Chains A and B, each alone.
Chain A
Amino acid sequence: MSKPRLLNREEESLPLERELLVRMHDLMVKARVLEERLIQMYKQGHGYFWIGGPGEEAFNVPLGMLMKKGQGPAYDYLHGHYRQSATMLALGEEPIGAMRQMKNVVTDPYSGGRNFAGHFSKREWNIAPVSSPIEIQYTMAPGTALAQKRHGGDGISIVTGGDAGTAEGDFASCLVWSSRKGNELPVLIIVTNNKWGISTPAETQHGETHVADRGKAFNMRTKTIDGNDPINAYLELKEAMEYVRKERKPFLMEAMVSRLYGHSSASGANMVGNEQDCLTVFEARLEKHGILTRKEMDDLRNRYSEDMAAMARQVIQEPMPGPETIWNHIYAERK
């Protein structure tokens, strides 16, 4: 794993501009509050299942901030998974959409009440639909990347998923298809390693030292990074993305992250005490460097909490989709 830049040493100053740090912090808080609200909605019976990404904000926020947002091959594609609400918010998404999906109301912007929480999709921004089977998104990313390579420009395909899922053949498919000699594809292959399958510890499922090492056999640039440090994640992602954008070749990045509320509501969705909380650590740093005061950060969190409580109250009043709508959109119609 790369050494977290400047961490654990007396830092003179943080290596990113204040404005960026404040924005990153804002988004991390927003994402955390959203996930906690979603968990609460689930626990109050306003949803059948929760899965999300509290603990991964330090990685997912910078990812969204750095993406080239838009529709079509000139822009980045995200083939994400279900822990990426923070990426969505960083791209500019409104948190109420995730709540609507949690409550499966007709206004759910991602699936119209059809899919689980965290299963985002937004064609306007090249957000490929998240679907439940683990790792299948890794087979699709080379497809959008091929179209992008042909299209020209600097759009890339980004694919993310968990560490346990790398045992699926689809992960190998991605390594094979994106690295064929002379046909290399602009894919940023990301594994967010929280060291767990649902209840299965990583050390009982992988033989390799780092998941990222698997890219080496494919002549790919690879790196294992600390994904709990948003500054480090931002800088590493920026570098990796610049490489993929410019060289039109794949990069395999493994980001070590935490899983703060267990796997999902299936495992209780309760706070776990023994994982590093990226937000707490970052806030201490921001405070120490005089970027934000404790009070400013507390106020921010309270403001988001209130806003989102109000949104949730609104969402639970919204109508469910009508039963007759099951017949809609089985096929696309030519407009």
Chain B
Amino acid sequence: MANMAQAVRMALHYAEENLGVTDIFGEDVGAPLGGVFTATQGLKTAWNTPLDERGIIGMAIGLAMAGAKPVAEIQFVDYIFNTIDLLKVAGNTCWATNGDWNLPMVVKTPVGSGIRGSLYHSHSFDATATHIPGWKIVIPSNPLDAYGLMISACQEINPVMYLEPKALLRIKGEERIPGEPDNDKLLSKMIDAPLGDRSQWKPQWPALEAYAVPIGKGKVVRAGSQVTVVSYGRTLPLCKKAADDLAAEGVDAEVIDMRTLWPYDWEMIKGSVEKTGRVLYVNEDTEVTNFGEHLVRRTVEELFYKLMAPPRLLAGKFIPGIGLADPLEMASVPQQGDITAAIRSLASEQP
């Protein structure tokens, strides 16, 4: 099975060939490296930019204005913060012009902890991204969704923020991407750039098929009846594993992968919480003014009388960064044990 970086790359290849993507660019995105996470290796429209995040976002806006279809990369989300006002402008251009201009552009960027990235390679962006109206925001938790969400992003006529959980970029999926060969070694031979001299290398792309994960639709990744767990990105597989583990203790948890943070699948969350009466939101952004807080607020306002226990949020600690030492990172953002404990405790809470 492809890993997420390969899935993104294949989706971008598909999008160059079939969806009119004209430019894939960012720092070290083009040859020879093909992206610091290899997600853009071998793509024909990939090119390297100056080391200038504001210039990258501005370039994307300009290209989108002029009828091109750009996919811009910010090398690590930690470096997107100096472009916030440009992101705001990209998000408000359609509204500000009363619908005259729209910007079909994608910004992709790796997010979150999990690679021992210390202070400036571990940040999350979900809370900030969901605070910028006019964008659609997606975050896959497995390679197939990464492929399908990128296809949808490239079909959009509005700005899309594509958040890549960097801890998951190297993890293989459980489902094949339509068109992917069934031999992983073969896939790697075909599309991974060789080490050393790459000047003569060209990828051999498999015959990929269209597969779109619709923006705005979540997915029930594990059905359950006693507690709802809503997550996305790096913490999603941890939630799934926790739910599977807890089944042995007689706790039956339903796990929802949001996949899109805006506009999000409230109907799916609502239906599940109405069924279980208990909900835990899990993400790793800092907990104060967290996107999960919005979900908690909405749950309280709309579903209060269906609840058996207060809705809970498990998120990153409200501290200025993630320290490099293993115990520091582990203590800063939710880990497997934290999630299991939180579900267990919520499931047993009685009114």
Which residue from B52, B59, B99 sits with its C-beta under 8 Å from A332?
A: B99
Q: With A and B bound together, what is the CA distance between A110 and B96 in angstroms?
A: 8
Chain B residues whose CB sits within 8 angstroms of the CB of A169 once the complex forms: 52, 54
A173 and B96 form a contact (CB under 8 A): no
Chain B residues whose CB sits within 8 angstroms of the CB of A173 once the complex forms: 50, 52, 54-55, 58
Encode A307-335 as 1/0 by CB contact (under 8 A) with B. 00000000000000000000011111010
B20 within 8 A of A: no
A131 and B89 form a contact (CB under 8 A): yes
Which residue from B55, B65, B85, B96 sits with its C-beta under 8 Å from A144?
A: B65
Q: With A and B bound together, what is the CA distance between A110 and B95 in angstroms?
A: 11
Q: Tell whether A114 pairs with B55 under 8 Å between CB atoms, given A77-B65, A139-B86, A141-B62.
A: no
Chain B residues whose CB sits within 8 angstroms of the CB of A115 once the complex forms: 96
Chain A residues whose CB sits within 8 angstroms of the CB of B98 once the complex forms: 108, 110-112, 114, 328-329
B59 and A142 form a contact (CB under 8 A): yes
Chain A residues whose CB sits within 8 angstroms of the CB of B267 once the complex forms: none
Q: With A and B bound together, what is the CA distance between A139 and B94 in angstroms?
A: 18
Q: Looking across the interface, which residue of chain A has its beta carbon closest to that of B47?
A: A183
Closest Cβ–Cβ distance, residue A164 to chain B (whole Å): 17
Encode B83-124 as 1/0 by CB contact (under 8 A) with A. 001100100111111111110000000000000000000000
Q: Tell whether A114 pairs with B54 under 8 Å between CB atoms, given A133-B85, A332-B102.
A: no
Q: With A and B bound together, what is the CA distance between A70 and B136 in angstroms?
A: 30
Q: Tell whether A147 pairs with B62 under 8 Å between CB atoms, given A136-B85, A139-B57, A169-B54.
A: yes
Q: With A and B bound together, what is the CA distance between A136 and B60 in angstroms?
A: 13
Q: With A and B bound together, what is the CA distance between A332 and B159 in angstroms?
A: 10
A121 and B101 form a contact (CB under 8 A): yes
CB proximity to B under 8 Å, residues A118-138: 119, 121-123, 128-129, 131, 133, 136, 138
Q: Looking across the interface, which residue of chain B has its beta carbon closest to that of A140?
A: B62
Chain B residues whose CB sits within 8 angstroms of the CB of A138 once the complex forms: 58
B66 within 8 A of A: yes
B36 within 8 A of A: no
B272 within 8 A of A: no
B68 and A139 form a contact (CB under 8 A): no
Q: Tell whether A114 pairs with B95 under 8 Å between CB atoms, given A142-B58, A147-B68, A177-B50.
A: yes
Which residue from A128, A136, A147, A328 sits with its C-beta under 8 Å from B86?
A: A136
Q: With A and B bound together, what is the CA distance between A121 and B102 in angstroms?
A: 12
Q: Looking across the interface, which residue of chain A has its beta carbon closest to that of B86?
A: A136
A297 within 8 A of B: no
Bin chain A's interface residue count: 35 or more
Q: Looking across the interface, which residue of chain A has its beta carbon closest to that of B59?
A: A143
Which residue from A77, A143, A147, A180 sits with its C-beta under 8 Å from B58?
A: A143
A73 within 8 A of B: yes
Q: Looking across the interface, which residue of chain A has its beta carbon closest to that of B56?
A: A139
A197 within 8 A of B: no
Encode A177-193 as 1/0 by CB contact (under 8 A) with B. 10010000000000000
A146 and B62 form a contact (CB under 8 A): yes
B261 within 8 A of A: no
Interface centre among B66, B92, B95, B157 (most CB of A within 10 A): B66
Q: With A and B bound together, what is the CA distance between A277 and B68 in angstroms?
A: 42
Q: With A and B bound together, what is the CA distance between A119 and B101 in angstroms?
A: 14
Closest Cβ–Cβ distance, residue A267 to chain B (whole Å): 23
Encode A199-237 as 1/0 by CB contact (under 8 A) with B. 000000000000000000000000000000000000000
Closest Cβ–Cβ distance, residue B87 to chain A (whole Å): 11
Q: Tell whether A331 pairs with B89 under 8 Å between CB atoms, given A121-B96, A121-B101, A142-B62.
A: no
A148 within 8 A of B: yes
Chain B residues whose CB sits within 8 angstroms of the CB of A176 once the complex forms: 50, 52, 55
CB proximity to B under 8 Å, residues A259-308: none
Closest Cβ–Cβ distance, residue B350 to chain A (whole Å): 41
Closest Cβ–Cβ distance, residue A268 to chain B (whole Å): 27
Chain A residues whose CB sits within 8 angstroms of the CB of B68 once the complex forms: 143, 146-147, 150
Chain B residues whose CB sits within 8 angstroms of the CB of A145 once the complex forms: 62
A170 within 8 A of B: yes
A332 and B158 form a contact (CB under 8 A): yes
Q: Tell whether A111 pairs with B99 under 8 Å between CB atoms, given A136-B86, A147-B67, A173-B58.
A: no
Closest Cβ–Cβ distance, residue A120 to chain B (whole Å): 10
Closest Cβ–Cβ distance, residue A50 to chain B (whole Å): 19
Q: Tell whether A328 pairs with B50 under 8 Å between CB atoms, given A142-B55, A173-B58.
A: no
Closest Cβ–Cβ distance, residue B263 to chain A (whole Å): 9
A143 and B62 form a contact (CB under 8 A): yes
B96 and A129 form a contact (CB under 8 A): yes
Q: Tell whether A121 pairs with B97 under 8 Å between CB atoms, given A72-B66, A73-B66, A331-B134.
A: yes
Q: Which residues of B contact A (CB under 8 A)?
A: 23, 49-50, 52, 54-55, 57-68, 70, 85-86, 89, 92-102, 133-134, 136, 157-158
List 18 A-B pairs, Cβ < 8 Å: A108-B98, A110-B98, A121-B96, A123-B101, A129-B93, A129-B96, A129-B97, A131-B93, A131-B96, A140-B61, A140-B62, A143-B70, A146-B66, A147-B67, A147-B68, A150-B68, A331-B102, A332-B157
Q: Which 3 A-B pairs have the closest CB atoms?
A: A143-B62, A139-B58, A332-B102
